[in-house]
Structure 1
Amino acid sequence: MQIRTIRWPDDQDALWDYFARAYGPDELTSIAAWYGTYPGFDPADAFVVEAEPDGAIVGHAVLIPRTIQIEQAELPAAEIALAGVDEAYHKQGLERTLLETVHARLDERQIAVALTLGLPSSYDHWQYEYAVGLYLTSFESDIATDLALKAGQWDSAHSYERRTADRLGARSEAISVRPFYASDLPAVQALYEAESARGSYLIARDETQWLWQMDYLIRTGRYEPDDFLVAEVDNRLVAYTRVSTGREVNWFRGADAAQFSVIEAAGDHPDGVEALLAEVGAMAARMDVDRIGLFVPYESAFMRHALVRGAALRAFTGAAYLRLHDLALALTYLAPALEMRCLNSRYTGRAYRLAVTTEHDEVAVDLGLGSPELIELEVPSSSLMRLITGWYGIDHLKTGYHERHHDVLSVLFPQRRPMIALADLL
Structure 2
Amino acid sequence: MARKLSRIPFLFILFFTVLCFFFPSVPKNINNTANLNPTDIAWMLTATALVLIMTPGLAFFYGGMVNKKNVISTMLQSFICMAVVTVIWFVFGFGLVFGKSQNGIIGNPADFFMMQGLLEGQPWELAPTIPLALFAMYQLKFAIITPALITGAFAERIRFISYVFFICLFFIFIYAPLAHATWHPEGILFELGVLDFAGGTVVHMSAGWAALASALYLKRRNEPNHNPARITYVMLGTGLLWFGWFGFNAGSAFHVGSLSVTALSTTMAASAAAALAWIFFDAFKGRKPSAMGTCIGAVVGLVAITPAAGFVTIPHSLAIGIISSIVSNLVVDWRTRTSIDDTLDVFPCHGVGGMVGMLLTGVFASQAINPANETGNGLYYGETKLFIVQTVALIGVSIFAFLGSLLLLKVTDLITPLRVSEEDERLGLDISQHGESL
Per the normalisation by structure 2, the TM-score is 0.27
Structure with greater helix share of residues? 2
Structure showing greater radius of gyration is 1
Bigger RCO of structures 1 and 2 (CA < 8 A, at least 6 apart): 2
Structure with greater strand share of residues? 1
Per the normalisation by structure 1, the TM-score is 0.27
